Amino acid sequence: MSGLEKIHSQIRKCRKCRLWKTRKNAVPGEGNPHAKIMFIGQAPGRREDETGRPFVGRAGKLLDELLEKNRVKRKDVFITSVIKCFPPGNRIPGSDELESCRPYIEKQVSLIRPKTIFLLGNVAINTIIGYAGRLDEVHGKKLTKDGITYIPTYHPAAALRFPWIKKKLDMDFKKHLSQ
């Protein structure tokens, strides 16, 4: 069993926070264990909770479209979230939940060792790089930390609700995936 498989097994059995009581499935993430590009979102949604797979609902369909549009295959990247269980009502994760999952996402990043990580939405951006400012000010900019390039951008779920966000998300993907 690889290191990534071990951490995913731990995630599936995790009871570090209250979310294990309401989840159907923990969602460790999926994709290429040696991916050069990683996508990190906020948390699994209802559809992800049902399937145990990341980004398979409406936001996932948009993510797939953006990848395809930029000639990137989903199987070549790694997709996950900062927390691994669905927060009831699709609420923003609590700080205790984020801290409980932090070791998992840190271990995934250290095992996969991507060159670029797209941070999808404020929760991912704040959790991973500690930026708590306005997303509109930082989206699409390259930030480097510990040898990894981070691309903060909008979450596909927000792009589904707001056409202007979809445009910006599309531009960020085009700018950083077509290099």
Residue 48's φ and ψ, nearest 5 degrees, are -65, -40
Q: What b/e readout covers 9-33, taking b as 16+ CB neighbours within 10 angstroms?
A: ebbeebebbebeeebebbbbbbbbe
Q: How many helices (H) and strands (E) does the chain have?
A: 8, 6
- Residue 170's identity, in one-letter code, is D
Residue 70's φ and ψ, nearest 5 degrees, are -105, 20
Residue with tokens 């801290």: 99
**Given this model, what pLDDT does residue 132 score?**
80
- For residue 85, which of 46, 136, 127, 123 has the smallest C-alpha distance? 46
Average pLDDT over residues 116-134: 93
Q: Say yes or no to pLDDT of 178 above 80.
A: no
Per-residue model confidence as pLDDT tens digits over 156-174: 999 999 999 999 999 999 9
Q: Say yes or no to pLDDT of 1 above 80.
A: no
Per-residue model confidence as pLDDT tens digits over 28-84: 999 999 999 999 999 999 999 999 999 999 999 999 999 999 999 999 999 999 999
- For residue 149, which of 169, 121, 171, 177 has the smallest C-alpha distance? 177
Per-residue model confidence as pLDDT tens digits over 74-111: 999 999 999 999 999 889 999 999 999 999 999 999 99
CA distance 36 to 154: 20
**CATH number, domain containing residue 132:** 3.40.470.10
The model's confidence at residue 153, banded by pLDDT at 50, 70 and 90, is very high
Length of the chain: 179
Residue 143's φ and ψ, nearest 5 degrees, are -120, 135
**What is the domain extent for residue 155?**
3-177
Q: Say yes or no to pLDDT of 179 above 80.
A: no
Residue 175's φ and ψ, nearest 5 degrees, are -65, -40
Q: Are 39 and 79 within 8 A, CB to CB?
A: yes
Instruction: Indicate the pTM of the whole model.
Output: 0.96
Q: State the total domains in the chain.
A: 1
